[in-house]
Structure 1
Amino acid sequence: MIEMQDVWKTYPDGTQALRGVSIQVDRNDFLYVVGPSGAGKSTFMKLIYREERPTKGQIFVNGFNIEKLKQRKIPYFRRNIGVVFQDFRLLPKLTIYENISFAMEVIEANPKQMKKRTMEVLELVKLRDKANSLPGQLSGGEQQRVAIARAIVNNPSVIVADEPTGNLDPDTSWGIMKLLEEINFRGTTIIMATHNRDIVNNMRKRVIAIENGLIARDEVRGDYGYED
């Protein structure tokens, strides 16, 4: 499903974010990406959904060769990838329902199907009763649930989550993780960058550690491996 072959990423200022990364992520994997700040985790994530392009090497996602993807094809490619950010990135003047359904409007979904699917994901993230609320009226955990609902509303095969629990308290973080685990159980591949040691150590999913732009380890049921 996702394969990186000898991927390098060097930024214009000379910073080498990734150095010769090769990895394969299979369908329905749940993968934690860990490592020190500045190690290359965010770059690794951005390459998957083509926010960044590799300096060298090849990346294949859902059959697409990222490097050869034409600009006009990028929106179609991204329809099958949901992205969840640490800072939620909700549209403050739109209701929760509108924030989620907007992702379907972009792909010109049928209005009837759009309403049905939006209500389905609101039910999944347990926010059906907040459909008409604005983001500012919700707690941080609720806003992150909306962000997840928006990411999955188009039934993507892959969710890329960059520090989705980073701004949340421990109890709320566990609620978000249980939701992601359920989404994974339903067949979606999850790739999550995190600094949350407790979550990684307790959930025991596949873990890759990136250090100085290199994959330092890749463990099937790994632990966090760093001290707080």
Structure 2
Amino acid sequence: MIHMKDVYKTYNNGVSALNGININIDRGEFVYIVGPSGAGKSTFIRLIFREVKPTKGTVYVNEMNVNELKEKQVPLLRRNVGVVYQDFKLLSKLTVYENVAFAMEVIESHPSLIRTRVMEVLDLVGLKNKARFLPHELSGGEQQRVSIARAIVNYPKIVIADEPTGNLDPDTSWGIMKVLQEINDRGTTVIMATHSKEIVNTFKNRVVAIEDGLIVRDEHRGEYGYEG
């Protein structure tokens, strides 16, 4: 599913983000990526959907060598990787339905399939009754649910969530986690970067801790392991 071997990443400004990452993530796993700010978590995640390329080492995602992909092949990789952002990244002038449908339209799905699938995922995230609302008419938690629906609408094999509860209150965060957990229970691999001690210690999953660009801990059903 995801395989990284001896992965290093140094940015053009000289910042060394990853310093020799080795990891395997299997299909259907739920993995938390934890660690201090600036440890390399975001770079780790961005490598998976080829937002950045490694300086050294190899990254395989769904049996594709991410390093060697041509630019025209990157969209194919990303069709199988749904991304949930902390700041939602919804299109403000489109309705909830249209925001989710847009992800299917860009890959030229059939209109009848779009109608069926969009309502299906909105029902999954509990927003079927708000399909015609605009983003500004929703709460933060509801906007994050739309972001999740958009990320999963094309049946990705992997969902990446970068601090998906970072801007949400605790009660709303629990709801978002239950949605992500249900997606994982249906067989989708979920990789989530988080600073939430409460979430990691409550929703038990694999925990991978990154510090100074290195994996320092990798535990099945682990604890958060930091103050916070």
TM-score class, shorter-chain normalisation, is: over 0.9
Q: Distance in 1 between matches of 2:203 and 2:81?
A: 23
**CA separation in 1, counterparts of 2:156 and 2:173?**
22
**1:154: which partner in 2?**
154
Alignment map for 1:1-228 (pairs within 5 Å)? 1-228=1-228
* TM-score computed with the length of structure 2 as normaliser: 0.99
Measured in 2, the distance between the counterparts of 1:146 and 1:5 equals 34
Structure 2: which amino acid aligns with 1:6?
D
- Unaligned residue ranges in structure 2 (runs of 5+): none
For residues 137 and 158 of structure 1, what CA distance do their matches in structure 2 show? Answer: 29
Q: 1:32 & 1:117 partners in 2: Cα distance?
A: 28
CA distance in 2, matches of 1:122, 1:224: 31
Give the residue type in structure 2 aligned to 1:99.
N
> In 1, distance between residues paired with 2:121 and 2:187?
15
Counterparts of 2:189 and 2:222, CA distance in 1: 17
| Deviation string, structure 1 residues 161-180 (Cα, Å, up to 9, x no partner) | 00000000000000000000
In the TM superposition, residue 203 of structure 1 has moved relative to its aligned partner by: 1.3
SS of the residue 2:227 aligns to: coil
Q: Secondary structure at the match of 2:14?
A: coil
Superposed CA offset, 1:20-57 (max 9, x none): 10000000000000000000000000000000000000
Deviations 1:102-127 (A, max 9, x none): 00000000000011000100110110
* Alpha-carbon distance in structure 2 between the residues aligned to 1:76 and 1:65: 12
Deviations 1:135-193 (A, max 9, x none): 00000000000000000000000000000000000000000000000000000000000
Q: Secondary structure at the match of 1:114?
A: helix
**Which amino acid counterpart does residue 213 of structure 2 have in structure 1?**
G
Rounded Cα–Cα distance in structure 2 between residues aligned with 1:113 and 1:85: 25
Cα RMSD for the two superposed structures: 0.4
Instruction: State the distance in 1 between where 2:106 and 2:207 align.
Output: 34
Identity of aligned residues (%): 64
Q: What is the aligned residue count? A: 228
- Mark the runs of 5 or more structure 1 residues left unpaired by the alignment: none
How far residue 76 of structure 1 moved from its aligned partner, in angstroms, is 1.1
1:13 deviates by: 1.0
**TM-fit CA distance, 1:9:** 0.2
